[in-house]
Amino acid sequence: MDTEDFQQAEEFKQKGNDCFKHSKYQEASDFYTKAIDCHSTSPKAAPYYSNRAFCQLKLENYGLALEDSKTSIKLDPNFVKGYYREGSAYLALGKLEDARNSFKAAHKLQPKDTDINEKLKKLKQMIYEKEFLKSIEIQHTPLVIHPEDIIVEPSYNGPKLEEDNQEITAEWVLNLMNWMKDQKKLHKKYVWILIKRCNNILKQYKALIDLDYGQDEKLTVCGDIHGQYYDLLNIFSLNGNPSPSNPYLFNGDFVDRGSFSVECILTLIAWKVHNPNVIHFTRGNHESKNMNKMYGFEGEVIHKYDSKTMEFFSDFFQNLPLCYVLNKKVMVNHGGLFSNDGVTLEDIRAIDRYQEPPDTGLMTDLLWSDPVKQNGRHPSKRGISIGFGPDVAQKFLADNKLELLVRSHEMKENGYEIEADGKVITVFSAPNYCDQMGNKGAYIIFKGSDMKPDIKTFSAVEHPKVPPMAYSRNFLNLF
């Protein structure tokens, strides 16, 4: 890299750094790309790849982060940050042994670095825990919940359920929402009752559910809410509470990241138990044990309740359906489409969803895949599943006599994005994601008369000063 190219690259790098400081990660990534383009094969370009990898980690594009990290190491095998970013990407993908090997390589170069040593110590603990849990793992059997064994203290004055089968009215749910809005906990006994009753409803469903709405009926579809309880309350304030005339479908990722995930999921469960037809939900990639362990929900549940309650939530997540089809026209699922052609709605309906998401297959694609601008199928920017092009979407919809795919799974600046000539819509309902992205949220209203998407956007509202990831395990400070 000659002097002029290097100076130009450093200017782009500094602009990228400035954007990064203001949480403008995509803009920062674009500037680092310009720095790389000045001379992508010089060892001096290693920091640019590493910086871009850091942006991709922030954007949750872990596959791209891994690629950039590996390139920075290839350009400069002594560049410690390259190994650090590589280890972070592997950790985000749940590849703990690979992550430890990356940090070992960083340790070899800087053996006295206390941060690297701390990461290695935590990874050792995580690997031990993972191996221990695997050693005692048994084939899935539904957990039996016994709320009757729990004593409610006389001092508790929140919402109550005197009997397992007590009717849950709309007024009871609204009381619960207001109780939790004041950062008060629903008693564990009643949490268990709600989960138990909701499981009994969900077990009647297939992996794919057909919903049909009459000409004058409507359905609101929301995307990720990620533990942002006060933004969930705002959706109901703007669009009305769930009711037979105002039903909702929440498209996965109710938990993790935001530190009010318990409140989000309990609100949705309570409405579902009140009336199964006013709330529908699909499973997202964050409704899984690995993600909950890393991104805060497990820590939050244990902090607010205990590990047994977390077991019941994990079991509940396995009962969630994976996909809805609305009026035989619109398919709604969290991630996207499939690694191979020829998948039918009957194939989806037949998926055994009572499991943790596997590494590959139809279930994983439904939870993890993303649309891309180029035709064809491409390696996933996340490192899991695939990216599918407009032609893949159009063929799948045509083969299954559908008109539109609605999916979530990705933060969008305006809360939504329309792709594939209008055949794919991403909807994301967590505004100012993680208190730093500055994005809007969105939801979509479908009317039975035409099933055309009516997209509404909204901004974030204030919430109590509990930061995102407040209950996540400390190793996520890697990011």
Which residue numbers are catalytic?
286
How is the chain split among helix, strand and coil, in percent rounded to 5? 50, 15, 40
Q: What is the secondary structure of 246-276 as a DSSP string? A: B-EEEES--SSSSTTHHHHHHHHHHHHHH-T
Cα 190 from chain centroid (whole Å): 26
Task: Identify residue 50 by its one-letter amino acid code.
Answer: S
Q: Judge contact between 116 and 87, C-beta under 8 A.
A: no
Residues 6+ apart with CB under 8 A from 306: 188
Distance, CA of 13 to CA of 415 (rounded, Å): 29
Q: What is the DSSP letter of 371?
A: E
Distance, CA of 142 to CA of 355 (rounded, Å): 11
- For 465, phi then psi, to 5°, come to -80, 55
- For 417, phi then psi, to 5°, come to -150, 140
- For 237, phi then psi, to 5°, come to -65, -40
Q: Judge contact between 408 and 251, C-beta under 8 A.
A: yes
- For 373, phi then psi, to 5°, come to -80, -30
